[in-house]
Amino acid sequence: MTAVSSHNVKFLGHSDQGGRGDGVQVMVNRGHAYIGHGFSNGITVIDVRDPKNPRTVNFLRCPPNTRAHHIQTHDDLLLAVNGPSVWGRTASGMSASVTPTSRCICRSSPTIFWSSST
């Protein structure tokens, strides 16, 4: 892979995001990058403590028919705001059986829980 960057940016490493190239937002917290996906309907967690060798460690699936369109970290919390999945649309563009927007509040440790609301 040939890195292309501006004169003041140094290329350190590369990750394929666990085979999911549709990352739309990245938050880095406590040595892990959290990447929200627009089409894969979840959040990839990458260990970036060694930036030359980032390692995918988990994929957090969103509730059915939703996607993580906004994520935020604070201390040991990960907040994910989910909206209707683009895969939950019909050919006419109308919503097809889409779960209402939900919020996920997760500890940055392996313990994860979802909290849904309308």
Given a contact cutoff of 8 angstroms between Cβ atoms, the answer to whether 81 and 70 are in contact is yes
- Print pLDDT tens along the chain (118 aa): 566 667 787 888 989 999 998 888 999 999 999 999 888 889 999 999 999 999 999 999 988 888 887 899 888 888 888 888 766 544 444 444 444 444 555 544 433 444 444 4
pLDDT confidence of residue 95:
43
Closest CA to 26 of 8, 54, 46: 46
Query: CA–CA separation, 26 vs 68, rounded Å?
Result: 11
pLDDT confidence of residue 2:
65
**Residues paired with residue 12 on neighbouring β-strands, in sequence order:** none
pLDDT confidence of residue 97:
44
- Ranges of each domain in the chain: 17-116
